[in-house]
Structure 1
Amino acid sequence: MENLSFVQNFQALSALLHPQQDTEDDCETLSPSAKLGPGNIGPKPRPDSAGSGCDSKDIWSQEEVAEGPQFEDLSDPRPQPEYEVMMKQNVGTEDVFLGLSGKDPSSMSCEALLVKIQLPDTRVCDVVLDVRDTFLDLRTPKYKLGLHLPQPVQSQEGKAQFHSEKQELEVTLTMKRPLDFINRK
């Protein structure tokens, strides 16, 4: 007897979860717009794109996304010069010998970025330098450099120096550090 009630309970639960479509009940017939879902929004995938290796869930194709720096001109044949990006911190004798300021050798204690750019056969008057908060753009007649900086910098407080004997441009940029009040004790 107990098995019979279990079977009846299971059938009642099944009827609740999967009701039969009965048009004779008070179910209203759904309009065509009520049968639409999120998958019906937007253009339908083209049948020729399925064979090209594209996933139908992709928003754009790889050809539509341009890579590289935001100021890069793809038709510009000038090469990129050799460069080096270094972190820089101001250290005094009280930091080295006594450790009074709480600075350590990590990059968290650095105050500036130093970018060294090798510019052979370049005169200082030919250099055009534009520094933004997160991007450095350098143009000369022979070279171009679009560099995304690893840390945001204060673009108005930078300093550039050209060493003609080494044919090297040194750009020193003060970093924006939102937690600076913690690092400077």
Structure 2
Amino acid sequence: MDCFGVSSFQNLQALSALLSTRQDDDDDGEETQRVSAYAQMGPGHIGPPPKTDKEVSSAYVKKNSKDIWSEEEVAEGSQYDDLADPRPQPEYDIILKQRVGTEDLFLGLSGKDPSSMCCESMLVKIKLPDTKATEVVLDVKEKFLDLRTPKYKLGLHLPHPIHSQEGKAQFFSEREELEVTLLLKRSMDFINIQ
């Protein structure tokens, strides 16, 4: 049974001749050359052609010939890394937090979910045994937390950027633990429902 009207090999050849771009039989050599040119192309031919050595991006041009790195290339907090410092790193936990009310819990009105995208703050709990609150030196940057005591040092690269000026720290002497609460800097705050 023939549903489409194509019943033989000749009909398929006739359809192929109608759809092909060949003008006549003399152009056979040109089409073969065009097909072989396409056959030589690979994944490296996708996109713009590669730059030559003379074309150098302005991002890689050094401003001072003696500089090895620019300030943008150096990770934040690397100036605090001291491999010769024998002080151990204290135990710490990072907990992401969000404000949830009854309308979120029971009715789901705000559209919040348990994902980290809906979290507003980060709590860093640092255990500092045999340490007093007056011995703690804390410096917080946008992506780095630096903690120094006479017995411990902690250079912590934070998993999310934070507002470095909007945070609080509290030392609990009975648990010998420092809790640092940091407000997350979310790039899509204008979309997130609060």
Q: Give the TM-score normalised by structure 2.
A: 0.60
Amino acid at match of 1:117: I
In 2: Cα distance, 1:94 partner to 1:181 partner: 21
Whole-angstrom distance in 2 between the partners of 1:92 and 1:165: 30
Measure, in 1, the Cα distance between the counterparts of 2:155 and 2:133. Answer: 18
Aligned to 1:120: 129
Query: C-alpha displacement at 1:72, in angstroms?
Result: 1.1
Give structure 2 stretches of 5+ with no counterpart. 1-28, 30-51, 54-73
Match of 1:170 in 2: 179
Q: Distance in 1 between matches of 2:110 and 2:171?
A: 32
1:89 pairs with one of 92, 98, 101: 98
Q: Give the gaps of 5 or more residues in structure 1.
A: 1-5, 7-36, 39-65
The structure 1 segments of at least 4 consecutive aligned residues displaced by more than 3 Å after TM superposition are none
* Alignment RMSD: 2.5
Q: 1:167 and 1:131 mapped to 2: Cα distance?
A: 20
Q: Per the alignment, in what secondary structure is the counterpart of residue 138 of structure 1?
A: strand
Map 1:13-28 onto structure 2 (within 5 A).
none
1:112 and 1:84 map into 2 onto residues whose CA distance is 14
TM superposition shift of 1:98: 1.0
The size of the alignment, in residue pairs, is 126
Q: Which residue of 1 aligns with 2:156?
A: 147
Of all paired residues, the percent bearing the same amino acid is: 68
Q: Aligned partner of 2:127: which letter? A: Q
| Residue 83 of structure 1: how far off its partner (Å) | 0.4
